[in-house]
Chains A and B, each alone.
Chain A
Amino acid sequence: MIQLKDIVVKFGDFEALHNINVHVKEGEFFTFLGPSGCGKTTTLRTITGFIEPVSGSVSMQGRDITNVPIEKRNIGIVFQSYALFPTMTVRNNIAFGLKIQHCSRAEIKERVDRIARKVDLSDEQLDKAVSQLSGGQQQRVAIARALVTEPAVICMDEPLSNLDAKLRVNLRNELKKMQREFGITTIYVTHDQEEALTLSDRIAVFNNGYIEQIGTPNEVYNHSATEFVANFIGDINPIGRELAQIMELPEDRNHYIRLERIGVSSKSNEKKEDKEKKQKGVFKVPGVIEMQEYYGLYIKYYIQAAGQSLKVIEKNDGISIYEPGEKVTLRLNPADVMSY
């Protein structure tokens, strides 16, 4: 659907993107993830045509669109600020693109009404000024405006970052639902890894103008290709030298293990896994509970073991409850370790 080949973008002397190669498939929900300033928005703006690459090519459906002007690319955008026109009503905002295309009045009305129904905007809301709507409603207007011209691709630049936490989760689900419904190829930019993991079919993780890894959420999370990805996505424990020796890991590399991959048990709370005598290759390490952070759904423990502090997640199921100072046994499987 969309293919970026060896894209290089420069701002003056600064090279913002180095040889970016991405292939987004038809109907896919594809996310650009990375910290701020990593080049994800620049890549998006190169696709939409706001930025001209120094070298490389952008093609859509097999056609080279590198030099096609913005307005002829047929790519919809939902902006971070939504960029709704403040001097127009909601209806006129949505109709803007259709008016530019010189559609007939009847057609404009019909198409605006149809898309408004799909994104759950009422007739009353259509006649309001943009500023009279709430953040979530404004976002739906922005989506409707981007979709009404029936673009081949829709690009979203951090569309949820202006909303409060609860609304963000709600709209995230709605967004996914809508995307599935419309079946439209979506390119999504975010710095929020949770958002990326829940929404995407595939993720490209950006860092300093390079792509570190492209993969499904599971691949990116559990098989992070680089040290940066491992650290950037989710929480992770670096494994110190002492523990690495215990676990017989090679010394010339850096090792990491995810929090939920470490098992914990204490005398008062012996687990099924402990009773199974022979677990292949699992190392048992004694430790002491240092501190706990209570999250409700789960509890994060800081455990002092093998001369370092390890973070461990335990489901708040009423069984795995430990007090600070309590002696515990940690179970670590080298198969869960990511090494770089």
Chain B
Amino acid sequence: MQTMASETSMPAPAQRKRHRNEKDVISGRSHTANLWKIFGGILFAILFFGFMLLPCMDTLTSIFTVRDAAGNLDPLAVIRFFFAGNMPTFLWNSLKLAIVLVITVNVVGISIVLLTEYFDIKGAKILRLGYMTTLIYSGVALVTGYQFLYDQNGLMTKWLAELFPGMNKSWFTGFSAVIFTMTFACTSNHALFLRNAIRGIDYNTVEAARNMGAKPFRVLFKVVMPTLLPTLFSLTVMTFITGLCAMSAPTLLGYNSINPEIVRLAGSSTADEAFPQARAALLSVILALFTVILLTVLNHYERKGHYLSVSKTKAKLVKQKIQNPVANILAHIYAYALFIIYMTPVVMILVFAFQNWGNVRTKTIDFSNWTLSNFFGNQDYVYQNWKGRDVTRKGAISGVFGNESTVGGIRLSFVMSAIAAALACVIVVAVVNYIFKNKHRKRSRVAEACMLFPWLLPTILICYSYRIFFNSDIFAGVRLGLAGFGEVQGTTPSVNLYMDNVRFLIIMAYTVVKLPFALRMIKAAFYAIDEELEDAAKNLGASPLVTFLRVKLPIVLPSVLAVFALNFNALFTEYDMGATFAKPEGRTYAMVIQSMCAEEGRDNMNMNASGRRCAATVFIMIVSGLILYLVYGVGSRDLAERIARRDRRIAKVKAEKFPARATLGLALGLAGIASFVILSMQLVGMAAAGSLTVDPVALLFLLGCLGLGLSIAGTVFSGRGRRNPKGRAIGIIGMILSILGIVLSAAAILVTLMILMGNPGSVTETFLSVMGFLKA
């Protein structure tokens, strides 16, 4: 699913207008510039050799350095084992998955796009939103969501079994389950790009074909589809790679494809089976070979060029009505059936996130009983042991934010993905800047190829290579050096890069894996910088640094932020890579949630693990939805659009006869303060009564959030309304009140959070425990 995202950069960037092989005039800066170049070169070399080439080469060579029982080198042992044992099954399974996935994803993806963009289907906008839901929850969250509904105890399976009594209840395992899940998971991305392609069609060509007597479906197949072919081809290749490299779905749904096997072998020991690591390496290399071949084909094909629209006055596509009434009804039924398939998991996850553990366990919805315990709970579970005595399991029913492991996982994933996403952006911006400065030299092409290198390797291979490489003897020298350094420093000497720095290695793996995607996106953005802009800035007296910071960076910044957000989004919920590292220090958020579910109810611990997972997914959906909105909604507006929007707004405010916005702002500010007052009165009352239990406090937390939201909206509206001549005073008062509301609500949220995260004992105690937790 990650590889699909790489396609965002598909549109070929326009050729630059003018070739310039003029040398920049070098002035007195050359000395420091050279130092910077050397420094950057060294960093780049460390990155490329240390974290890309050498680890992967190490993995590759490990296949041929296997020793037999007598300790003799046996280079071909693994290969022989491959052909003798069951290893080809995994390869075949992966290929089967990839081939079937290509078919299903293309069928569903093309139909989705045609239904929402090309044909006139009622409610297309809502349908489109539904089809896009898998963009806000992916990977493990999505697979487990589907599993929750469709496995043998699943809600949907139960309902379906009632409808069709003869059906096989455990249909949702293995190949069919993986195909079902991945089809819907991959289609959103597929549809996203296909949609852009279909929107690029010049409607005049459709009209021309109709004018010459072609029937609608003939137009579709002869005029519309051929223009979509290049995009479809790219998407097909990417889907194939996604299927081949699938990790979370096969792992969770029990399908023996390559990647889960690599992870299993990597973690296995020589005591149990013959040279598991070397076999894992061989499988990784096979996967890498396939990826290389497919990407080469794709690259070659892309270089041949696309069918670009030749028309300068493009007409917007007008939706086609399906004339045949039967076909029309069938199309509508199909569209809404798909919509239901897409929406059911989302709705169910949302519902079950607010159901108590008993209901989640039995998969029944109790409309009269809602709870926040899956988000903030921290309750004990009391049960009778075999002796009939009551035993208390502390915190067995706890929410995502009320559970130390999950909060720890969130924090770890948050920090690691934020650092990695930022690092990838910084590295790529620096490299792309270099590439553009040395456009006509070979070294820029070399630098670009280095950055794209990780694309050739499956994610799992990179992580696996890190795991082996940094744990290997090659680093004996480095380790010794570090140990010596550590002794000098008087701290514990660092002796093993893998054992002691796994978080650092995960961050590096995250970064490296995201480099190719970041490069393609950010490079496309750099094409928007006109060379003359740089000249103009220089001519006006700006130094190269100032030119970069004030002229070039602002132009590419929206793209850079988008890349950051998308990478962060993907890494935050990432499971595969963390699982490959398989170290307790690197237990990411997805891994924590996953392992808890695997142990649901065992020893009467983790009683609400499934409900908690639903809550976690809701949390992810909110975060991803927000990020996608910011990137594609707000972030894509340029200066002209922002100014135009502001001007329109000001004009509207000034034209108000009654200062409506200012009044609204004032009202919102007051509402924000009111919610704070209610909240604090409740809290004080509960504290006085000694009944600070989790659920009501969680509600208060939400109230605090509401108050904060209202107050923020209040500042916005009163700030705008202030421009109306009559609304000036009201607006200013509204702003003051709203700002007060923000401060108070923020404080209230903090207090409730403290209570929620710690013990519902005294507030001071809670505060101390929270501080202790944050420090730990």
Q: Which residues on A are within 8 Å of B, measured CB to CB?
A: 11-12, 45, 48-52, 67, 69-72, 75-77, 79-81, 83-89, 96-97, 100-101, 127-132, 145, 149
Taking CB atoms and an 8 Å cut-off, the chain B residues in 531-549 that contact chain A are: 532-533, 535-543, 546
- The reply to whether the CB of B643 lies closer than 8 angstroms to some CB of chain A is yes
- The reply to whether the CB of B384 lies closer than 8 angstroms to some CB of chain A is no
Contacts of A97 in B (CB 8 A): 540-541
Q: Is the CB of A88 within 8 A of B639?
A: yes
What are the 10 closest A-B residue pairs judged by CB atoms, nearest first? A87-B554, A97-B540, A129-B640, A83-B532, A83-B536, A69-B27, A129-B639, A71-B541, A100-B541, A131-B640
A174 to B533 CA separation, bound complex (whole angstroms): 25
Binary contact track B526-567/A, C-beta < 8 Å → 1, others 0: 000010110111111111001000110011010000000000
Q: Is the CB of A131 within 8 A of B639?
A: yes
Q: Is the CB of B640 within 8 A of A96?
A: no
Ordered by A's residue number, 15 sampled pairs between the chains whose C-beta atoms are within 8 Å are: A51-B23, A69-B25, A70-B538, A70-B539, A77-B536, A79-B536, A81-B532, A85-B551, A87-B639, A88-B554, A96-B540, A96-B550, A129-B639, A129-B644, A132-B644
Min CB–CB distance A168 → chain B (angstroms): 20
A127 to B642 CA separation, bound complex (whole angstroms): 12
Q: Provided the pairs A81-B530, A83-B530 are in contact, do residues A71 and B22 lie with their beta carbons within 8 angstroms?
A: no
Q: Provided the pairs A87-B554, A100-B540 are in contact, do residues A132 and B532 lie with their beta carbons within 8 angstroms?
A: no
Taking CB atoms and an 8 Å cut-off, the chain B residues in 78-93 that contact chain A are: none
- The reply to whether the CB of B366 lies closer than 8 angstroms to some CB of chain A is no
Contacts of B557 in A (CB 8 A): 87
A96 to B549 CA separation, bound complex (whole angstroms): 13
Tell me the count of chain B residues lying within 8 A, CB to CB, of chain A.
31
Q: Is the CB of B539 within 8 A of A71?
A: yes
Min CB–CB distance B270 → chain A (angstroms): 59
Contacts of A77 in B (CB 8 A): 535-536, 539
Contacts of A130 in B (CB 8 A): 639-640
A52 to B22 CA separation, bound complex (whole angstroms): 8
Min CB–CB distance B635 → chain A (angstroms): 13
- The reply to whether the CB of B638 lies closer than 8 angstroms to some CB of chain A is yes
Interface secondary structure of B, over-half rule: helix
Min CB–CB distance A157 → chain B (angstroms): 9
A81 to B528 CA separation, bound complex (whole angstroms): 13
What residue in chain A is nearest B529 (Cβ atoms)?
A86
Contacts of A131 in B (CB 8 A): 638-640
Q: Which of A70, A80, A100 contacts B546 (CB 8 A)?
A: A100
Min CB–CB distance B556 → chain A (angstroms): 10
What residue in chain A is nearest B538 (Cβ atoms)?
A70
What residue in chain A is nearest B533 (Cβ atoms)?
A83
Q: Is the CB of A129 within 8 A of B638?
A: yes
- The reply to whether the CB of B21 lies closer than 8 angstroms to some CB of chain A is yes
What residue in chain A is nearest B528 (Cβ atoms)?
A86
Min CB–CB distance B223 → chain A (angstroms): 33
- Known pairs A52-B25, A70-B25, A96-B537. 7 more at Cβ < 8 A? A50-B22, A51-B23, A71-B539, A85-B554, A89-B639, A96-B550, A130-B639
Min CB–CB distance A335 → chain B (angstroms): 45
Q: Which of B22, B638, B644 contacts A45 (CB 8 A)?
A: B22
Contacts of B555 in A (CB 8 A): 86-87
Min CB–CB distance B260 → chain A (angstroms): 47
Q: Is the CB of B22 within 8 A of A86?
A: no
Contacts of B530 in A (CB 8 A): 81, 83
Q: B535, B537, B540 — which one has the most chain A CB atoms within 10 A of its CB?
A: B540
Q: Is the CB of B542 within 8 A of A100?
A: yes
What residue in chain B is nearest A128 (Cβ atoms)?
B643
